[in-house]
Chains A and B, each alone.
Chain A
Amino acid sequence: MSDLHRAPGEPAPFEERLADLAGSAAAVARPESPAAVRRRAGHRTARRRLGTGALAVAVLGAIAVGGAWRSSFDDAVPPAVTPSPVTPPSTPAPTTPSPTVQSPTTGSPEVPSSAAGTVGARPPGAPDSTPGRCTTAQLTVTLASEDAASGHRSVAVVFRNSGGATCRLTGYPGVDALGGDGRTLAHAERTRRGYMGGPAGTGRPPTVTLHPGRSASALVEASGFRADGAACKPYVSLLITPPDDVRSVRLRWETDSCSDLEVHPLVAGTTGRLA
């Protein structure tokens, strides 16, 4: 829509270069911390209208009552893709475990590996004060909430607990991009945040507890151009491995992205972003 004089499939040098230029500027931008922005805004408000004491009350009030209102920020761009069901959870395609999934740094050391086998067997409704980690067999994996900006693309990988027991997920799923011939084109780099989003903060990613029917999701992003100017060979599908699991599902991703594949930590919900 944005470039009408382009034959389908043909590259758009102008838009690509414009996106590339804006991306370069974005990359060297040096944002202040959000707290510093709020502080600066607050100081001026205080001087202008309120007086410091009143401002403090206002800010504390904001903190206290906040949360009731959920902004439409995450809905500003409606999902372009409706979630499509994929491999039934009971028959995940066993594939070679992706090497990036095995990283012990994102593991859950406090969960003994034997716990995985017992989780699926727990009868529905049984007390689960210490839910085990979710396995591929319990999860339905879909792609949703596709988004794009300035040459960057993102899609949320959604893990829905389709089993009968509560389980939990922590950290990063393994994400590999595959070409049309099924060969691996890229392993996603695990980053806390990227151009398209990812949870704020630092430190260990939070653990998401998934009651039956609930979802967690991780934002996957990539670029629709290559920084070195080489031809862009788009990804065709994503090979997804839940955190700390070895079995994967393959999902088709209709995209024009071809480089800088990243995955951000799992968060609750279906958008890959904190609501």
Chain B
Amino acid sequence: MLHVDEFDDFYTSTYRRVVGQLYAMLGDLNEAEDAVQEAYCRAWQRRTKLNEYDSPEAWVRTVAYRIAVSSWRRARNRLAAHRRHGPQDPVQSTGSGHLELIGALAGLPYEQRRVVVLHHLVGLPLADICRETGTPLGTVKSRLARGRQALAQHFTELTDSADGRISEDV
């Protein structure tokens, strides 16, 4: 059972980080915040079970991503979001190449993008990405490889030296 204080601490200490990660996956801050907010609601609803998860933060991130994707698939009603948040400032471009990065990420299919973000932003090893996405290792590897390949035209460091192989850092 998750005590109120524990939930509040968990929420306040992880919320912004998860929003940043979801934004990197989705490319839309309003959508990211809505999905993350909803995921924390669900976390509170299942507070009796939350301690059974290895990482509640990963649970929230996974649920938020599913919420966002299912809302893509549904016809979306964004009015609720606007009522709740009002118009929002766009993410500030601090001149360190945000626009180029946003454009490069936007060119990726969303499952590739998710894997790239989980690996390069969240810092998860491949095994954890398999668990979080519910995808077999081979699929995760090929998504990561394709994502990196597409990004390599913008970021040469991502060019894989050995013809597209992803190193085994499971």
Contact = CB atoms under 8 A, between A and B. Distances in A.
Contact of A22 (B5, B12, B24, B159): B24
A4 B3 contact: no
Contact of A71 (B10, B89, B161, B169): B10
B152 to A, nearest CB: 9
A150 B94 CA distance: 16
A66 B6 CA distance: 9
B157 A29 contact: no
A273 B24 CA distance: 27
A229 B94 CA distance: 9
Interface string A22-48: 111111111110110110111011000
A261 B45 CA distance: 36
B110 interface: no
A227 B160 CA distance: 28
Interface string A41-83: 1101100000000000000001101111111110010000000
Contact of A14 (B19, B88, B89, B155): B155
B11 A4 contact: no
Contacts of A5: 157-161
B47 to A, nearest CB: 7
A116 B9 CA distance: 33
Interface in B75-127: 84-85, 88-89, 91-98, 101-102, 117, 119-123, 125
B69 interface: no
A152 to B, nearest CB: 8
B133 interface: no
A29 B33 contact: yes
A5 to B, nearest CB: 6
B135 to A, nearest CB: 18
B3 A69 contact: yes
B92 A28 contact: yes
A42 B157 CA distance: 47
Contact of A2 (B6, B19, B95, B123): B123
B88 A30 contact: yes
A76 B14 CA distance: 12
A29 B55 CA distance: 22
Interface residues of A, number: 62
A96 B150 CA distance: 53
A70 B51 CA distance: 8
Contact of A4 (B6, B95, B169): B169
B19 A34 contact: no
A17 B102 CA distance: 10
B24 A41 contact: no
Given A22-B21, A25-B32, A41-B42, A66 B4 contact: yes
Interface in A238-268: none
Find the residue from B15, B97, B157 having the highest chain A CB count within 10 A. B157
Contacts of B37: 31-32, 37
Given A21-B24, A31-B11, 4 more contacts: A30-B33, A73-B57, A228-B94, A274-B9
- Kindly list the 8 A-B residue pairs having the minimum CB-CB distance in the complex, ordered from nearest: A66-B3, A22-B20, A26-B20, A25-B23, A34-B8, A26-B16, A41-B41, A41-B44
17 contacts: A12-B157, A14-B101, A14-B157, A22-B24, A23-B20, A25-B32, A30-B85, A32-B37, A32-B84, A35-B8, A41-B42, A62-B1, A65-B1, A69-B3, A193-B12, A196-B13, A273-B13
